Amino acid sequence: MDLWRAATPGKERTESGSDEAKREGTGDKADCEWNEVLREVRVTQTGAQILLGFLIGIVFTPRYTQISPADRTLYQVTVVLGALATGTPIAPRRWPSTASWSDTR
């Protein structure tokens, strides 16, 4: 039996490696959940970009000049919120690259 374990390097950790397997299992689960969250954010970001594109396109229609000042203010607030909704999912990806750039002088 000892010869078999010596010939197969990954098999000697069966008794002592059970804790490692549990830790790897929870790490794998966390990675899987994180990947699922990233997938959902990407879908949401695409939808926000499409809606922002439609909102920006409204300015170029002839009826935009005919709306009331209250509606124009509401439109501008909606465009700003749409831009924030589009930019918020991008921020976590940009932050580490800017932070690591400023730390390495």
Per residue in 5-23, pLDDT (tens digit) is: 555 555 444 455 555 555 5
Q: Are 52 and 82 in contact (CB under 8 A)?
A: yes
From residue 63, give the alpha-carbon distance in Å to each of 2, 36, 47: 84, 42, 25
Euclidean distance between CA atoms 64 and 55, whole angstroms = 11
Q: How far from chain centre, in Å, is Cα 83?
A: 16
For the stretch 50-67, pLDDT in tens is 989 999 999 999 999 999
Burial of 79 (0-12, 13-18, 19+ CB in 10 A): middle
**Maximum Cα–Cα distance for the chain, whole Å?**
87
- What's the pTM? 0.53
What is residue 8's three-state secondary structure? Answer: coil
Two tokens, residue 66: 């005919």
pLDDT at 76: 94
Q: Are 78 and 55 in contact (CB under 8 A)?
A: yes
